[in-house]
Amino acid sequence: MKKRYRVLFFVAFILLGSVISAQFRSIMSQNKEKSAVTLHAEELTAELDKEKESVASLKASVAANEKTMNQNLKAAVSLADDSNTKNELEQLNDAQLKAGLIDVEGQGIIIKLNDALARMNFPQELLVIHDNDIKFIINDLKVAGAQAISINDERLLPNSETICAGPTILVNKNKYPVPYTIKAIGNSDNLYKKMNDSESRIMPMLRDGIRISIEKSKEVTISKYSGKLDTLIQGLEVPEK
């Protein structure tokens, strides 16, 4: 009888050992696969970081070259002896400015806009800023002689549109929520006066409680257009006759 039990125990231990061994091999195999996947993911992450650094370096190099080119253009305008050459260089610089291809610095104004605070028994649509409000302000700035305008540091192009997208607006296909910061470069006195004119869109917005501040500044900086070139030229093509 004892011998029989010994045999049964021996067989049971062998089976248990086989099961444990199989489980151990399975766990080791899974860990090995996980390690391989983790290692591959780490390698891909490292490659992605390297590519990002390369792109950032190329963008910095392009920006530096463009800055040098613009400085050389300004220097060429001031040093040009021939009136025709000087006129052509000035036209080129003016075209780049209007197209949003160069950074602009100068005097101007900075407008900050935010929705009104909630009030009881007051129409909700009058408490928020709409895309039409922005359009009216931009048009007033252009009438007052603004040379360059941006919304939340998004350079406006000749074909830029502000489109309502729920509680946000789209500028050059990019979405921006409140608050909005509008920068305009030009004669700061003229721009400021236009914004505070009784017929300006700013006045009814203030009456509705929209939070607005307007500041003159001697040093306003508006960066060049930074989006895709297809957006830059869209709508500017010459139609076929």
Question: Domain containing 207: what range?
Answer: 104-233
> Which pLDDT does position 162 carry in this prediction?
74
Mean pLDDT, the chain, whole residue set? 78
Query: Does 2 map to a domain?
Result: no
Query: Does 7 map to a domain?
Result: no
Q: In the chain, how many domains are there?
A: 2
Q: What is the pLDDT of residues 85-105, one digit of tens each?
A: 667 666 766 777 777 778 889
Q: Average of pLDDT values for 170-192?
A: 94
> Is 206 in the same domain as 128?
yes
Query: Does 41 map to a domain?
Result: yes
pTM of the model: 0.64
Beta strands of 39-123 (E only): which ranges?
Answer: 104-114
> Is 85 in the same domain as 118?
no
> Is 40 in the same domain as 139?
no
User: What share of the chain in percent tops pLDDT 70?
Assistant: 65
Query: Does 171 map to a domain?
Result: yes
> Is 45 in the same domain as 141?
no
Closest CA to 114 of 202, 203, 179: 179
> Is 173 in the same domain as 111?
yes
> Is 55 in the same domain as 118?
no
Last residue of a domain, one of 75, 99, 123: 99
> Is 51 in the same domain as 144?
no
Across 184-218, b (16+ Cβ under 10 Å) vs e yields: bbbbbeebbebbeeeebbbeebeebebebeeeeee
Query: Does 158 map to a domain?
Result: yes
Q: What is the pLDDT of residues 124-163, one digit of tens each?
A: 888 999 999 999 999 999 999 999 999 999 999 887 877 7
> Is 195 in the same domain as 226?
yes
Query: Does 238 map to a domain?
Result: no
> Which pLDDT does position 239 carry in this prediction?
39
Last residue of a domain, one of 77, 99, 121: 99
Q: What is the pLDDT of residues 51-92, one digit of tens each?
A: 778 777 776 676 676 667 666 666 665 666 667 766 766 676
> Is 140 in the same domain as 82?
no
> Is 219 in the same domain as 146?
yes
Query: Does 201 map to a domain?
Result: yes
CATH assignment at residue 206: 3.30.70.1880
Cα–Cα distance between 166 and 175 in angstroms, integer?
10
> Is 129 in the same domain as 190?
yes
**Which pLDDT band holds residue 241 (cuts at 50, 70, 90)?**
very low
How, if at all, do strands 162-165 and 168-171 pair? antiparallel
Query: Does 15 map to a domain?
Result: no
Q: Is the pLDDT of residue 210 over 90?
A: yes
Last residue of a domain, one of 99, 118, 149: 99
Cα–Cα distance between 15 and 147 in angstroms, integer?
86
> Is 111 in the same domain as 63?
no
Q: Which two tokens stand for residue 134?
A: 């922005």
